[in-house]
Amino acid sequence: MLLRLLLLFILVPFVELALLLYLATVIDWPATLAIVVITGIVGTLLARAQGFATYQRIQKELAQGSMPTDSVFDAVLIFVAGAFLMTPGILTDSLGFALLIPFLRTRIKAGLMVWVKKNFQVTTNMGDGFQQTTYANDEVIDSHVIEAESKKQIDP
């Protein structure tokens, strides 16, 4: 895992630099710099607008009493898109803009959900610690909150 992260932190900036240098040779360097600045500004504004809309959707779903799981996942992907778009480079900007397009974000989210179901497992520990339930990767766990009746006080 550490090796993968090390490669990621070395290869991604190297590829970004190579792409920017190539773009600067195809067009001039001021235009390349302008592209980096403009995509950063436009991407940040788009991520902010979509993030605010997603925040409002989460608030609405919570007010209706439903769990905003899809909306929260969208919010995380929009946050990641904003981080990609603030990072200068062609590759990260492309990934950031892809995460801001709702159709592509839905596809990416579906792929990530398959990965999460494949790589993570939910295990609960009930009561005395001896009962352990493991849920399959594709099993849906549904729950409801039932409020207990308050004890009635008897007036003397």
Residue found by looking up tokens 């993968």 in the block: 4
Q: How far apart are CA 123 and CA 34, in angstroms?
A: 51
Q: Which pTM value belongs to this model?
A: 0.70
Q: How far apart are CA 13 and CA 1, in angstroms?
A: 19
pLDDT, tens digit (0-9, with 9 covering 90-100), for 16-63: 999 999 999 999 889 999 988 898 888 889 999 999 999 999 999 888
Domain spans of the chain, in order of start? 30-116
Average pLDDT in the 115-144 region? Answer: 63
Average pLDDT in the 8-21 region? Answer: 89
Cβ proximity of 85 and 36 under 8 Å? no
